[in-house]
Structure 1
Amino acid sequence: MKPLEIEVFICRSDNYGVLVHDPETGQTACIDAPEVGPILAAANRRGWEISHIFTTHHHTDHVEGNLALKEQFGCEIIGPINEAVAIPGLDRAVGDGDSFEFAGHTVDVIETPGHTAGHVCYHFVDDKLLFSADTLFALGCGRLFERAAVDMWHSLQKLAALPDETAIYFGHEYTLSNARFALTIDPDNERLKSRAAEIEAIRAEGKFTIPTTLGLEKETNPFLRAADPSIRRNLLMESRSNEDVFAEIRKRKDNF
């Protein structure tokens, strides 16, 4: 089986558009549909026809292109069962623990409530790919709009249990701001310091910071590191629960 091909591009102001193409069958999945123009341009550039849209959650900047792309390509739209009524053009609703096949590749559905109540991530098991949208970012996590911090913490723990080599494609280019914030939470982390410097250089050149890996995030992303003793000392929260520490980090990021 040939490896999947992935095309990444910017939609709107800072959304990532992602196309996942299987060269053997020609099937192409669009991960969310933030904006029709850039998605069509990317598909045309590669000579791909979109066969599927994998929707992660109902926010407009992730579903705005659903109906137009479905009209043009007749693609199947898959999305979260707990937000089914809010996903334009939804054909198949999926929930936590579900699996399906995309061009012979197994895709596991991981429900990750927090940013929204029914947000899902798509894990291509054998390909070691995770499409995390607005749950897990490089050095960050999504804002809590519809569920509590404890729910997002538990969602992130599901993702943290995946193999460290998993490549993570996230929903927005927030990495530079996330890196600057992370240093205020975990200032003694040498790996974070070097990574932040790398990100400054990457963004100064206008390059993307996607994908990341789960192993790298576990070393440097404060939202996955609520149990770390140095972070707890820095926050004066040594005796508090992981959920409480995570909630404090999220609150600080909201005000950063």
Structure 2
Amino acid sequence: MPRSILTAAALFLLTALHPVTARATEVYVENTCSETVQVAVSYTDSRGKERTEGYFRLPAGAERKLLRTEAGRFAFYAYDPGRSWRGAYRMPSVGDDYGLDGTLVTFDPTLKRYSHALSCAESQGDAALRQIRMATTCDHDVFIAVRYQDLAGQMQTQSWYRLTRGEVSYLPKTRADHFFYYGRSETFLEQGEETWFSYVGAHPFALEGKEEGFIRKDFNTDAHLLLLSCGG
């Protein structure tokens, strides 16, 4: 038998016994903006498991490897104090029980390295402002009133914003470093009786003709949102 045929047969047998596996792509994300950005990613790992990880801190101008995948796609959600990068792809939660409207990115899965640049032009919001973002872990909807300094420097009280489990609510923007909130859940039955829970603080402000105690919240630039637990 000719040597070429033997060689081809040997290569075929070797491939059958040791199939070539796809090479994972190292995925980097670059922050092209002038502010530090926090990034969460959702992807399929080398074992076929769906993973959501974050938040990763990316200083202005930095590029960082965030994941390895063979799938040729990943999703991300990013934010800074006044802006967010979000799209139509629903990502699983990052540590807490809420979902994120992420952006799905696809690329050639044969690449050894892929880099995705976060563009300020693609963000929603304003870097000079702070976005009030809230969510709840509760099975019952929560209704929130907020008191904040508007963009003209005037104090405003707005109500009612509905928080639903699994959803991030984007509330007013402000230039101040804090805001106030007051809230209560919808009424529900517990052991046959109607009940609810409230979020009440030590700062009295007028709300619908009554004085209610609001809670002060200082912005934390490393936190995506204010996550309310059940029971106040």
State the structure with bigger RCO (CA 8 A, min sep 6), 1 or 2. Answer: 2
- Which has the larger helix fraction? 1
Same fold (TM over 0.5): no
- Which has the larger strand fraction? 2
The TM-score normalised by the length of structure 2 is: 0.28
The TM-score normalised by the length of structure 1 is: 0.26
